[in-house]
Amino acid sequence: MLSVKQHNENVTFSPELLAKFGEVVSRYPEGKQKSGLLPILHLVQAEFGWVSADAMDQVAVYLHILPIEVYEVATFYTMFLLEPKGKYVLEICRTGPCCLVGAERIMGHLEQKLGVREGEVTADGLFSWRGVECLAACGFGPVLQIGPEYTFYENLNEAKVDELIDNLKAKTE
Amino acid sequence: MARKLLLTHIDVPGINTFEVYRQKGGYVAVEKVIKTMSPEDVVEEVKKSGLRGRGGAGFPTGMKWSFLAKPEGVPRYLVCNADESEPGTFKDRYLMTHIPHALIEGMIVSSFALGANTSYIYVRGEMMPQIRILERAIAEAKEKGFLGKNILGSGYDLEIYVQPGGGAYICGEETALLESLEGKRGNPRIKPPFPAIAGLYNCPTVVNNVESIAATVPIINLGGEEYAKIGVERSTGTKLISASGNIVKPGVYEIELGLPVEEFIYSEEYCGGIANGKRMKAVVAGGSSVPILPANLILKTAAGNSRLMTYESLADGGFQTGTMLGSGGFIVFDEDQCVVRNTWNFARFYHHESCGQCSPCREGTGWMEKVLHKIESGHGSMSDIDLLWDVQRKIEGNTICPLGDAAAWPVAAAIRHFRDEFEWHILHPEESQTRNYGLAHYADPLQPIVS
């Protein structure tokens, strides 16, 4: 399941990142450090933009567990990106309540505006988008989120999507 | 105005901070339990209150607490289920965003009652902003001596930690949540043993929803008996309802249980009626997994009584003509919405979220998604409706956890109440691609299916 492109041999955990790992592990009883796996994978993804097999191997060493225990978890939870994506991954809710108020139309607009299909990366490496399941914001739909801080953008329409994308582009120029 | 217990001060500026929350009477319940009550007293008050789990199942909270095993020398845990993922439900996110201390105060009260010295709040990973908010609230409470070692000089110690999930609906099921909290895949456990005997790290554990835990604060402040006077019969207290779909004012509302459904949908105080002057077609009253009801059956029971927002009234008539209060995710459909398309959407959701442990759910949800997609895109045949019925019936009751039922019920209810709409899609494959069946003679053209 893990292909070659999912390797990133340049992964090194900085002392700052390792300090955050240490804080996470301190939340659990002794010997139960594996509980820190999800929080640590989130930290890894926030740092590198995605979770590579090499990063997972190092997490396994850190937590004193087998690499397979990390792989099986990273592949189970949909938030973890197992290959490089755009700098900004726009995740739009595609579930029922959001569709009642136009989420499918907004998905079509995203595809058109960015010029890439779901899961692909724009040529400038800035954007990816994908439909995700219910984000618990049904009363404020259509809604999308952008990691790693998972800021929500609510009550979307075409103009708001355009403005958001233009602002993100301007920010990186 | 109806009585509010959880969202009383929602409009007060700064209510998300310790200072303002405290000024408005916050943490009085913690002082009361720690200084004047025993853990058993607290459990007793919650039992008297009649509080039922607000996450969806509606099991009496006090009774759940009383099942907790208390072997000597073994730690006990309270785990808050903040994995809110049921489509149509967004009340917990709202509460944690705006009044985080209501949850933290409830966590302290509940942990004290259960004798837990370490408690976790498992928040779905997408709610990173809410995780930050809760972490700040915990730090504030700790600084003021309401958390940590020797709380208010009582000798009682409590630490609360926030744990992020990874974007899996199944982790809202309590044993899957515990697996996830242990750093594993969210596969539900076979029960028994129940978490009250062997939960987190194989220790006795109680898992409660955010709103249930927050509700212990007004229960302690008012007393269980007073709390039980609010509401109707066995539906006591107030409930947060997440209202979404084609209504004028979507949002989170706190209602007294017993409010007529009609008043909730049409009054200015709540949803404000159907948006854009349209008519109501259907309602999913308790989150995506409960049966969808057509407009006439949601407003009145089959016996002709006014339908109320209570556990009992919404369930009146069983699944033939009734539904469930569930998590309070209230989704309203106007006349231009397509029931087949929405059912396909929900089936896709459950297929995506099935953990894959049990064959009926893993395979059945996929079959339902495919067959519904076929009908919705104009390629269905009449036998497909029977096939759908057959598949959903074989999932229900045949899985380790309730996700199987949750996937089967919406499909069954859609066919039960809207069979004519399914048949119309099959008999008019081309027309069904250009307009909706609706209640109206016309409708907006359908959007192409994004897959």
Quote the ipTM score: 0.95
| pLDDT given for residue A7 in this prediction | 75
pLDDT score recorded for residue A5: 57
pLDDT score of B98:
97
Whole-number percent of chain B with pLDDT over 70: 97
What's the pLDDT score for residue B443? 46
Dihedrals phi, psi of B437, to nearest 5 degrees: -65, -50
Question: CB of A113 within 8 A of CB of A75?
Answer: no
CATH 3.40.50.150 fits A88-172, yes or no: no
Name which of B76, B12, B14, B1 is nearest B39 in CA terms. B76
Checking DSSP bridges between strand B231-232 and strand B235-236, what pairing results, if any? antiparallel
* Band of pLDDT at residue B441, cut at 50, 70 and 90: very low
| Ranges of each domain in chain A | 4-74, 88-172
The model's pLDDT over B213-251, given as tens digits with 9 standing for 90+, comes to 999 999 999 999 999 999 998 999 999 999 999 999 999
Indicate the average pLDDT of chain A.
Answer: 94
Contact A100 B164 (CB under 8 A): no
To which H or E segment does residue B207 belong? strand B205-209
Outline where chain A has alpha helix (H): 15-25, 37-48, 53-63, 67-74, 96-100, 103-114, 158-172
pLDDT, tens digit, 9 for 90 and up, residues A26-49:
999 999 999 999 999 999 999 999
Q: Is A96 within 8 Å of B349 when comparing Cβ atoms?
A: yes
Interface of B with A in 112-171 (CB under 8 A): 118, 124-129, 161, 163-169
Nearest to B338 by CA among B271, B218, B268, B418: B418
Contact B380, B426 (CB under 8 A): yes
Q: What number does CATH give the domain B239-334? A: 3.10.20.600
Q: Give A148 to chain B, closest Cα distance, Å.
A: 8
Residues 212-271 of B with CB under 8 A from A: 242-246, 250-252
Instruction: For residue A151, report the phi and psi dihedrals to the nearest 5 degrees.
Output: -70, 135
Sign of the dihedral defined by the CA atoms of residues B398, B399, B401, B407, in that order: negative
Peptide bond into B192 cis (omega under 30): yes
Q: What is the pLDDT of residue A2?
A: 55
- Is residue A172's pLDDT more than 90? no
Q: Is the pLDDT of residue B365 over 60?
A: yes
Q: What is the pLDDT of residue B368?
A: 98
Instruction: Give CA separation, A119 vs A91, A98, A116, B50, in Å.
Output: 10, 20, 8, 48
Task: For residue B444, name the pLDDT band (cuts at 50, 70, 90).
Answer: very low
Q: Across residues B330-346, what is the average pLDDT? A: 95
Q: Give this prediction's pTM.
A: 0.95
Q: Which residues contact A29 (CB under 8 A, 6 or more apart)?
A: B75, B118, B201
Pairwise CA distance, residues B123 & B104, whole Å: 13
pLDDT single digits (tens) A78-129: 999 999 999 999 999 999 999 999 999 999 999 999 999 999 999 999 999 9
Residue A99 assigned as binding residue: no
A132 and B CB contact within 8 Å: yes
Record: contact A138-B250, CB cut-off 8 A? yes
Read off the pLDDT band of B440 (50, 70, 90). Answer: low
Q: How buried is B227 (Cβ within 10 angstroms: 0-12 exposed, 13-18 middle, 19+ buried)? A: buried
Cβ atoms of B275 and B247 within 8 Å: the answer is yes
- Give the list of residues 6+ apart from residue B423 with CB closer than 8 angstroms, or none: B382, B385
Cβ neighbours of residue B244 closer than 8 Å, sequence gap 6 or more: A97, A100, A101, A138, A139, A141, B88, B90, B250, B329, B330, B331, B332
Q: Is A134 known to sit in a ligand binding site?
A: yes
The structure tokens 């209602």 sit at B255
Instruction: Give me the mean pLDDT over the B105-128 stretch.
Output: 98
Question: B266 with B257: CB under 8 angstroms?
Answer: no
CB-nearest partner of A73 from B88, B129, B185: B185
Cα end-to-end distance, chain B, whole Å:
45
* pLDDT at position B436: 87
Is B85–A36 a contact, with Cβ atoms under 8 angstroms apart? no
Is residue B451 scored above 70 in pLDDT? no
The per-residue pLDDT for range B2-43, each reduced to its tens digit, is 789 999 999 999 999 999 999 999 999 999 999 999 999 999
The sheet with strand B238-245 has its strands ordered as: B251-256, B238-245, B329-334, B280-284, B292-294
Query: CATH number of the domain at B18-229, out of 3.40.50.720, 3.40.50.300, 1.20.1250.20, 3.40.50.11540?
Result: 3.40.50.11540
Within a 13 Å sphere around the CA of B66, how many CA atoms are in the beta-carbon half?
14
B292 pLDDT exceeds 60? yes
The residue to which tokens 């409470």 are assigned: B141
Return the sign of the alpha-carbon dihedral for residues B392, B283, B339, B287.
negative
What is the signed CA dihedral for B187, B190, B191, B195, rounded to 10 degrees? -40
Tokens of A147: 């990691």
- Cα(B2)–Cα(A4) distance, rounded to whole angstroms? 60
What is the rounded CA–CA span in Å between residue B229 and residue B79? 28
Ranges of each domain in chain B: 18-229, 239-334, 339-433
Measured between alpha carbons, how far is B80 from B91 in angstroms, rounded to an integer?
15
B129 → closest Cβ in A27, A36, A150 = A150
Helix (H) or strand (E) holding B48: helix B39-49
In this model, does residue B446 exceed pLDDT 50?
Answer: no
Q: Rounded mean pLDDT of B387-402?
A: 97
If we measure between CA atoms, which residue out of A84, A90, A85, A105 comes closest to residue A168? A90
Strands B251-256 and B280-284: unpaired
Q: Per-residue pLDDT averaged across A59-71, rounded?
A: 97
Two tokens, residue B303: 């016996």
Question: Would you state the torsion angle of the CA atoms of residues A80, A82, A88, A93, taken in this order, to the nearest 10 degrees?
Answer: -50
Condensed to tens digits (0 to 9), the pLDDT of residues B46-82 reads 999 999 999 988 999 999 999 999 999 999 999 999 9
The Cα B167–Cα B74 span in angstroms is 31
The hierarchical CATH code for the domain B339-433 is: 1.20.1440.230
* A138 near B CB under 8 A: yes
* Residue at A117: amino acid letter: R
Q: What is the pLDDT of residue A11?
A: 87
A17's tokens: 């990142």
Q: Residue B408: pLDDT above 90?
A: yes
pLDDT at B448: 47
pLDDT at A96: 96
Q: Residue B201's pLDDT is what?
A: 98
Mention every residue, 6+ apart, whose C-beta is less than 8 A from residue B203: B74, B75, B76, B77
Q: Count of CB contacts below 8 A, A vs B?
A: 159
Give which of A15, A39, A6 is closest to A25, Cα–Cα. A39
Residues paired with residue A152 on neighbouring β-strands, in sequence order: A145
A96 touches chain B (CB under 8 A): yes
The pLDDT tens digits of the residues spanning B250-279 come to 999 999 999 999 999 999 999 999 999 889
Q: What is the CATH number of domain A4-74?
A: 1.10.10
User: Token pair of B248, please?
Assistant: 């004028």
Question: Across all residues in chain B, what is the average pLDDT?
Answer: 95
pLDDT the model gives residue B2: 79
